A and B are shown apart, each in its own frame.
Chain A
């Protein structure tokens, strides 16, 4: 063993020693617990910490959310709040016409709903096209495929705050985009204070940040398609277009559907990148539902946690529907896989 390796082994042992020691100490009471309760009791012991945390911080909030949405006031603790029944929901859903936010009592909520709807449509479409094209290209006989895969995956790991700031910096008045525009003889522009461009930026940045993830799923699907199918098609002299429509697309469909539904589910909850990038502006043109919940629940001076809770339940219902859709799509994919 070389000197460095010995040192490394010693350092590792020294770091692990207290943990190993702790584990052997724990073993003593656990042995008597095991003797007293049998292996069934041990199952309970192993489950307990996770389920306790899970229960307190996921299940309890999930259940009390329904009670919460039936109360009003600005206090956060349930016992300090007054019961108002379905009033919060009535307030949210009170609209002259759902297509015109100005006729709604909670016009901000409906503005957020409309914006989110538009965002979801644009983002899902762009995401699907871009990640599909990238996956198809990465599936060709490309030199250095894992390098290129990593290139497109890189932004997935960045934090939304970092992503938002990077792009705010590029899109600002003295930014890189304006440099490019300027060099091509164009007029510099305040991209993020323009309704259309702010929306376009929010959509594009979120595609930039997450496309690597979906490309990966699609690429895995493409690589699972048996090669002999293509070889057979080639021997029959099938046209490439036909190969795509008759082999690639049908066999990729399960993955493609999963990608579309996953994108949908995540797009409905869009918050961080868009929030850091535009802050919901200009005006309310990039205000999305999660930001509405956050602002009405916590940040706004006129905060109303009950209303935020009711809005979050409405969003949750949409997500449940989408998730059931995903499960159905996923199961169909599985069955299809099993048949082959």
Chain B
């Protein structure tokens, strides 16, 4: 028992390796595999052909079958390594297959057809990437449109969030007026009202203002984020009022004070909110799912879910599009992760 406790307490520096260090490193390495492994597996699978995706046991790496152009045939033929009756092996190309018998030709001598039992052959494969999984959904499905919709929603919602939240935060931090504390309480109070609690009435309100089945109907209900107002207000409180008074002495209007002084000074907090907002809006699912019923308006998340929910799931496309959907978030993770972690550690918001 005390051994477990040693493990739970911090290591006192520089005493060499203790077994708790080994357990810690195992935990961390296991974590590395469990956290990144699924995403890596997804990316690897997204480059496999449909035939390969249906295989069991699955291969780790994506392979494509080798093909060769054979004289006398229009299309390239697939190559197989065939075990011939005399015991030798030879590379042959498949012309057609009937049941368990394949008609094959030698690429060097394309005139003689050899009949081969399919149990006696193995496809020739090399590591290769089925990049058509990425190209085709953009042509055959509406993924390009979904991508555009998602980008539009994310960019617009983030811009409006930054503007309206920062204006409100400016008023709440730099002016004294009646009902200020009540307004703040109201905003913070609704932090506890999740979407699922007001889903049905929100739908009817959005319908009443005529925004059903429009991207603005997705954008507007999300932009007045209480977390954003709260975060910016807390930050703006640290900007000294003397600075504003000095600007007023110089005849600056209140709008100029907000725009020229407070906003630039609040840039770090705005950056954090912008990152959060981009991730939130890009990832939103339930609300767009409810409000959008015309297919051409779907965002990536809703479109992905729809295609993945079909009876005959075309996994090769779904996997590739899932990777595409992940890309912006991965970029945020790689370049901006420390802003988010410091934001969470500082305010406890997500």
Contacts and interface: CB of A to CB of B under 8 A. Distances in A.
Q: Is the interface of A mostly helix, strand, loop or mixed?
A: helix
B253 A165 contact: no
A160 B329 CA distance: 12
B255 interface: yes
B12 A234 contact: yes
A165 B308 contact: yes
Contacts of B78: none
B73 interface: no
A50 B205 contact: no
A297 B39 CA distance: 34
Given A47-B168, A162-B322, A217-B344, A53 B10 contact: no
Interface string A58-83: 11111011001000000011100000
A248 B200 contact: no
B243 interface: no
B87 interface: no
Contacts of A155: 35
B224 A160 contact: no
A98 interface: no
A153 interface: yes
Nearest to B196: A290
Contacts of B226: 54
B193 interface: yes
B187 A43 contact: no
Interface string A161-183: 11001111110011110110011
Interface string B319-342: 100100110010011000110110
Contacts of B35: 151-152, 154-155, 208, 212
Given A47-B172, A77-B204, A309-B201, A149 B341 contact: yes
Nearest to A183: B57
Q: Is the interface of B mostly helix, strand, loop or mixed?
A: helix
A122 interface: no
B193 A316 contact: yes
A242 to B, nearest CB: 8
Interface stretch (A7-15, A22-30, A102-110): A22-30
Contacts of A213: 344, 350
B304 A46 contact: no
B205 A61 contact: yes
A78 B204 contact: yes
Contact of A43 (B21, B171, B203, B348): B171
A152 B305 contact: no
Contacts of A47: 167-168, 171-172, 183
A264 interface: no
Contacts, number: 302
B350 A54 contact: no
B337 A150 contact: yes
A272 B290 CA distance: 13
A234 B36 CA distance: 38
Contacts of B304: 161-162, 165
Contact of A293 (B164, B196, B344, B350): B196
Contact of B199 (A51, A150, A152, A297): A297
B41 interface: yes
Contact of B253 (A34, A154, A239, A265): A34
A255 to B, nearest CB: 9
B77 interface: no
A183 B45 CA distance: 19
Interface in B246-298: 253-256, 258-259, 279, 282-283, 285-286, 289-290
B55 to A, nearest CB: 7
A139 B7 CA distance: 12
Nearest to A289: B196
Contacts of B199: 293-294, 297, 308, 312
Contacts of A39: 175, 254
A131 B126 CA distance: 42
B58 A174 contact: yes
Range of interface residues on A (Cβ < 8 Å): 35 or more
B230 to A, nearest CB: 12
B290 to A, nearest CB: 6
Contacts of A258: 348
Contact of B325 (A64, A134, A162): A162
Interface string B18-43: 00010010011001101110110110
Q: Please indicate which of the listed interface residues B38, B168, B198, B283 has the most CB atoms of chain A within 10 Å of its own CB.
A: B198
A166 B38 contact: yes
B57 A182 contact: yes
Interface in B134-154: none
B24 A157 contact: no
Q: Please indicate which of the listed interface residues B10, B12, B207 has the most CB atoms of chain A within 10 Å of its own CB.
A: B10
23 contacts: A42-B255, A50-B229, A53-B224, A54-B226, A56-B205, A56-B209, A77-B207, A136-B8, A148-B28, A150-B337, A151-B35, A153-B340, A178-B57, A179-B56, A182-B56, A182-B57, A213-B350, A240-B5, A244-B9, A248-B8, A272-B286, A305-B200, A319-B194
Interface of B: 1-2, 5-6, 8-13, 21, 24, 27-28, 31-32, 34-36, 38-39, 41-42, 45, 53-58, 163-165, 167-168, 170-172, 175, 177, 183, 186-187, 190, 192-194, 196-209, 220-221, 223-224, 226, 229, 253-256, 258-259, 279, 282-283, 285-286, 289-290, 301, 304-305, 308-309, 315, 318-319, 322, 325-326, 329, 332-333, 337-338, 340-341, 344-345, 348, 350
Interface of A: 23, 26-27, 30-31, 34, 39-40, 42-44, 46-47, 49-51, 53-54, 56-62, 64-65, 68, 76-78, 133-134, 136-137, 139-142, 146, 148-162, 165-170, 173-176, 178-179, 182-183, 188, 208, 212-213, 216-217, 219-220, 230, 234, 239-241, 243-245, 248, 258, 265, 269, 271-272, 276, 279, 289-290, 293-294, 297-298, 305, 308-309, 312-313, 315-316, 319-320, 323
